[in-house]
Structure 1
Amino acid sequence: MTLTWPEFRRARRRSRQAWVLLAAAALTGVAGLGWFFTVGQFAAVEPPTDGPSEAPVLAAGWMNGVASVRPVPAGSAAALLDTLTVKRPAAQDNYDRSAFGQAWLDVDRNGCDTRNDILRRDLTGAEFTKESGCRVAAGTLREPYTGRQITFSRGAGSSKAVQIDHVVALGDAWQKGAQQLTAGQREDLANDPLNLIAVDGPANQDKSASDAATWLPPNKAFRCHYVARQISVKAAYLLWVAPAEKDAMKRVLASCPGQQTIVAAAQ
């Protein structure tokens, strides 16, 4: 069928409009992917929470601090971040958990292993097993990573609902300076209450050995404390940060410029 000149012009105009719409859709898709792979990967899956915004380090009267490689200086977390060495992570292919000593030692010499110390510190209404002043049997956790309230009950299947997380994961620490520490210093890092928090089991598994560039707590109210705690641990044990990790930490701290370092003072 032969088109008249007016019909041909209308067809060309409709074709141009269609290409404009396709180009706009493509640009929107590219922008959306860019957002997702920067900050959207966190925001897209995070419902608002009203969970805790901080977590204790020590408990007065029965819990002792660990002598880290150097004390954490009091002051601005952002300022301390700027003192940390920035470089790429070392290889992780030679990482072995045993390099950090036996799990849950009694490094503070209070008579109880570290796991039970942290459970006792972080749970509300902690109860102990029969004839034990150490083994925590039950309690309630106002969980900081998700903002949920979790009931802890010791048992073969139930204990894993609450896990003890290394705020600076040991795998991450190994890649960023821990290989240069002594065996005793690595044991201290793995058992230091500054680096340990009782958390939701699935959230802990999701975090794995991630740093701040690849994982942050879904509970946004806790992120400033979490990042400040990571910075404090890394400063205490002479660990470094990767470039992307530092950028992620700075973005979090920009929302709380008054955030202080986390020091091992009794709560």
Structure 2
Amino acid sequence: MAAFTAPARQLLIFTRLQTRCCAFAAALLSGVALSALLPQLPVARYDLLLGYGLLLTLIFRMSGWESGRDLAVIAVCHAIGLAFELVKVSLGSWSYPEPAVFKVAGVPLYGGFLYAAVGSYVCRAWRLLDLELTGYRPRATAAVAAAVYANFFTHHWLPDFRWPLAVLLGCVTFGTWVSFRVGDARYRMPLALSFALIGLFLWLAENIATYLGAWSYPHQLHGWQPVGIDKFGAWSLLISVTVVLVAMVRRR
């Protein structure tokens, strides 16, 4: 019985820690869900979500759930995300069909909070799970992550190097392990595997978010349909940018 209860207990602890790591993302997604149920209001839904995101940020900072250093990383993720959105929406990759006052070039300013939530998750996981990287190559990994981010823009005009970059990311992270603490025990996994696992959950979250009308892909404008599985791969690559940013701050 002890051989069974010990792993089960560790799984429960890990689940509880992951829930705490996802607190900002869960609160944000809950706000999106609630906003979809609200009656017609004089304030646009996207503007309400902007105010809600700012309020969440303030609450998390004042409560000590996010440190000043975490907040700086999250702000950078927000800015990077908005830049990403501005380009992608202008090219028709997806859209925000509802009106809003705080909307620039078709992108509501609340859209950056979706990327900020990912930054919050990585920052909180680093602290709550006591993450450590071994065999990490900061310069090489950062260079590939930057190329991954750039390719999401340039593939609209140049060849798409997504698969070569995925292979290159696997090469530069080969031998890099991320260790984490659950209770009194430490575990580890390849960093590349953590990218894939986070990418999977982000793809699932994206399906929920689009179902709630947070944004819409072209194939969803006339009725919700699942987000393509290719977005799982895209998120698995894109998460490397956030991890590199957080690792850079932590190393300093």
TM-score, scaled to structure 1: 0.32
> Which structure's CA Rg is the greater one?
1
Structure possessing the higher relative contact order (Cα contacts under 8 Å, 6 or more residues apart): 1
TM-score, scaled to structure 2: 0.33
